[in-house]
């Protein structure tokens, strides 16, 4: 019995979102598919929330290594706050790019764009996880089926 290799299997949703897959199942084609179904803001929110979390982790990590990290590479607290505000305003307040969430997710989102302390790291966790679950359960399988891979 043959074992499937990475080249024989379909990429996971995470691989597509991280740009680790090739055509025709790469990020660009998935994004185009999302645009057809008016879901591109959801994946953009997910990507921005991922970037925000990485910035927070970088900030937390460098706090223990301040002298070892060159100043121009350091993330400061103000950058984290500005980034959080931008994501919050663009995707969580009503407007052109607002992403809608069910009530149980909405109540987990801070009511102010700048929470304090470690809340900055986790402030988008619930809506980000909701988006990923929705993409993984509904939209990505439809994308694969539309591209005749299922």
Model pTM?
0.79
pLDDT tens profile 23-44: 889 899 999 999 988 889 999 9
pLDDT at 53: 92
Torsion of CA 44, 46, 140, 23, to 10 degrees: 60
pLDDT tens profile 84-137: 999 999 999 888 899 999 999 988 888 766 666 667 888 899 999 999 999 999
pLDDT band at 65 (very low <50, low <70, confident <90, very high): low
pLDDT at 27: 92
Q: Are 10 and 25 in contact (CB under 8 A)?
A: yes
**Residue 1 domain-assigned?**
no
pLDDT at 90: 93
**Residue 23 domain-assigned?**
no
**Residue 32 domain-assigned?**
no
**Residue 16 domain-assigned?**
no
Count of domains for the chain: 1
pLDDT at 115: 62
Q: Give me the CATH number covering residue 56.
A: 1.10.167.10
pLDDT at 149 over 60: yes
């Amino acid at each position: 019995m043959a074992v499937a290799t990475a080249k024989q299997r379909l990429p996971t949703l995470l691989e597509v979102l991280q740009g680790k897959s090739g055509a025709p199942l790469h990020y660009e084609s998935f994004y185009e598919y999302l645009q057809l179904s008016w879901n591109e803001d959801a994946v953009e929110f997910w990507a921005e929330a991922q970037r925000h979390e990485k910035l927070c982790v970088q900030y937390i990590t460098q706090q223990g290594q301040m002298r070892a990290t060159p100043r121009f590479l350091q993330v400061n607290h103000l950058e984290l706050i500005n980034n959080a505000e931008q994501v919050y305003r663009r995707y969580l307040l009503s407007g052109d790019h607002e992403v809608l969430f069910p009530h149980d997710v909405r109540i987990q989102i801070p009511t102010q764009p700048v929470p304090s302390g470690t809340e900055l790291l986790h402030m988008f966790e619930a809506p980000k996880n909701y988006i990923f679950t929705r993409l993984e359960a509904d939209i990505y399988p439809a994308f694969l089926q539309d591209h005749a891979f299922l």
